[in-house]
Structure 1
Amino acid sequence: MQMNILKHSLLLTLLLIIASCTEEGDLTNSISENELLDYKELLNLSYGESSNQTYDIYLPEGRNEDTKVIILVHGGGWNSGDKSSMLPLINLYKVDFPEVALVNINYRLSDEDNPPYPMQINDITTIVDDLKSKKDDYVISNEYGFLGISAGGHLSLLWSYSFDIDNNVKMVASIVGPTNFTDPAYLNNTNPILQELLDSYGVNTTISFLEEVSPVHQAKTTSPPTIHFYGGQDPLIPVSQGTNLRDKLNSLNVNNDYTLYPDAGHGWGGTELLDTWSKLKTFTETQLL
């Protein structure tokens, strides 16, 4: 199923374009301290053998060992999509958070022979390990925020709740990300489009597996502060996906911010878009910086 989610999402309604110099390459050789303090863009850095195992990192001017990092995870139904779709958000963060390092990731896409779990979670772990190993070269901290959209929201939540063994994630943001595969709205659905999405995840129907891949079931009292957004008319993500996560986090006393736009679908624009970015900005300022 080809789901170019972001082409129809709130993010691509943004017309902000920023002119900036780019540099492609890797850090095979250590870069001098003076160079590191300049603004840097390092694009298509490889972290594995697959052509999809790449990430871009945007290193802010004047950074130091306390510089926080935001990792962006694209959507696409786990079997499509590309990090380029997150560039509007990259540009917004550059303007409003010039002191933050940004990491825009690709991950291996699923197909009939390669289910998304645990493959894509393993890719995120490899990226985080790579960032940690190059912490001194990049001049960044080990404190991260995640922001994902749709399938990327699901991956951001799941990794932050289940696989952040060192508690490096200080906040996670999800826009229309699935949270609970045991939701009756999924298990008992009669929507062929929704079922195609679930089938693309290769869902094993055992309850234990569904819980293992559901952020709602993996949340715990130590989970990071979470902000999440949903559309009331979304044909792919039922409203209960957001309320399930909100209620679970509230029961665990985990700081969270839940927003539902009643008339929106799997993406939105206008005043709702402005509200989303305003809330993301405030949450980032209070939880990560």
Structure 2
Amino acid sequence: MKKFVYTGILSLFILLNYACSSEDSDFNITPSDPTSSTVTAATLLNVSYGSDTDQVYDIYLPQNRTLATKVMILIHGGGWTSGDKADMANFVELIQQELPTYAIVNINYRLANDTTSPFPMQLDDITSIINDLKTRNEEYIISESYGFLGTSAGAHLSLLWSYDYDTQSNVNMVASIVGPTNLTDEAYLNNADPTIQAYIDLLGLDLVLPFLEQFSPYHQVTTAAPPTVLFYGGQDPLIPNSQGTSLSDRLTNLGVTHEFTFYPEEGHGWGGQNAIDTWTKLKAFVAEHH
């Protein structure tokens, strides 16, 4: 592994729930003619998939791709209210370096606020992105086989969309790094933490169990769920330990292929050797299942 890849890993999981800023830009490479003997790599930035300024994605297309080239979709965190696709830049570099045959789609989505719930708005945005990728798959020269990698709130969205919104079974695998899984967890509903309560309040004024279950991966997962890989920290101030362990247990009971890694001393993000361990396991899982 090259030195800069290790450097990227070491900083990969720090402050997953905070946003970074980035400047908009247009296409900087034009895809080659698919009839040519060599299909060149292409990067298209801020591709619009809706009318809102947040409804854009970046797509990184590898050299010599075909209509069988698989796609990794990256979803940033930020408590459903903040964050940006720029937060996932290190993952883009790692995938390009170590999984070079995959196309990468790094997305933004509309952000929630005091008057706008994240659900189902942000899940609808992911559906719009999938529909856009399918419409353009011959233009991009990619397949309709997708994998998801999300962090924090983006991991929640990745899991939930893969479990409940993938009506055509196009998702081959999904990865959650410190993602919420069960909004009905007593650790959330009876919490005494103002930060956690702020996220719960964000979901709306009339919270009832059916609503919370509807938007919880734990409650929506079925035996048809795609292979799932989970990473959680035992000292996470935002994600109770039960969020990872309960979903892992449910996947086991349902017979869903999955892996679960728990780092007892880590929080809501980590660096160092555990970050390297996370990437090593994640890369192997992607290679096997996607």
- TM-score normalised by L of structure 2: 0.89
2:280 aligned partner = 278
Aligned match for 1:166, one of 142, 165, 168: 168
Structure 1 position 40, deviation (Å): 0.2
Code of the aligned partner of 2:170: N
Counting only pairs closer than 5 Å after superposition, residues 202-213 of structure 1 correspond to structure 2 as 202=204, 204-213=206-215
Q: Secondary structure of the residue that 2:204 maps to in structure 1?
A: coil
One-letter amino acid of the counterpart of residue 56, structure 1? D
Q: Deviations over 1:49-78 (max 9, x none)?
A: 111000000000000011000000000000
Task: Provide the C-alpha distance between the structure 2 equivalents of 1:114 and 1:149, rounded to a whole number of angstroms.
Answer: 22
Q: Which ranges in structure 2 are unaligned for 5 or more consecutive residues?
A: 1-9, 16-24
User: In structure 2, what is the Cα distance between the partners aligned to 1:234 and 1:131?
Assistant: 35
Q: Is the 8 A contact 2:14 2:271 kept in 1?
A: no
- The aligned counterpart of 2:225 is 223
Shift of the 30–133 alpha-carbon distance from structure 1 to 2, 3 Å rule, reads: farther
**One-letter amino acid of the structure 1 residue matched with residue 272 of structure 2:** G
1:156-195 aligned at under 5 Å gives the runs 156-195=158-197
What's the % identity of the aligned pairs? 52
Of the three residues 46, 49, 69, the one matched with 2:48 is 46
* Match in the other structure for 2:234: 232
Counterpart for residue 3 of structure 1 = none
**Aligned residue identity for 1:110:** A
Hey, what's the Cα distance between the residues in 2 that align with 1:89 and 1:11?
Answer: 10
1:121 is matched with 123
Of 200-209 and 64-73, more deviation after overlay is shown by 200-209
Superposition deviation, residue 112 in structure 1: 2.2
- In structure 1, give the amino acid aligned to 2:167: I
Partner of 1:20: none
**Is the 2:12–2:91 contact (alpha carbons within 8 Å) kept by the matching residues of 1?**
no
Residues paired across the two proteins, number? 271
- Corresponding position of 1:79: 81
Give the alignment's TM-score, normalised by structure 1: 0.89
Question: Is contact 2:31-2:40 (8 Å) kept?
Answer: no
Match of 1:254 in 2: 256
Give the aligned CA root-mean-square deviation in angstroms.
2.1
- C-alpha contact (below 8 Å) 1:11/1:89 kept by paired residues: no
Deviations 1:197-219 (A, max 9, x none): 22233374211001000000000
CA distance in 2, matches of 1:218, 1:203: 22
CA drift at 1:190 = 1.1
Structure 2 residue 61 is the aligned partner of structure 1 residue 59: yes
Cα distance, 1:241–1:113 mapped onto 2, change above 3 Å? same
| Residue type at the aligned position of 2:67 | E
| Structure-2 residue corresponding to 1:107 | 109
Q: Deviations over 1:158-181 (max 9, x none)?
A: 000000000000000010000001
| Cα distance in structure 1, aligned partners of 2:195 and 2:163 | 28
Q: Check whether the contact 1:180–1:214 (CA below 8 A) recurs between aligned residues.
A: yes
1:69 and 2:43 aligned: no
CA distance in 2, matches of 1:9, 1:81: 17
Distance in 1 between residues matched to 2:82 and 2:214, nearest whole Å: 23
- Could you say what secondary structure the match of 1:58 adopts? strand
Distance change in 2, residues 1:161/1:72 (3 Å): same
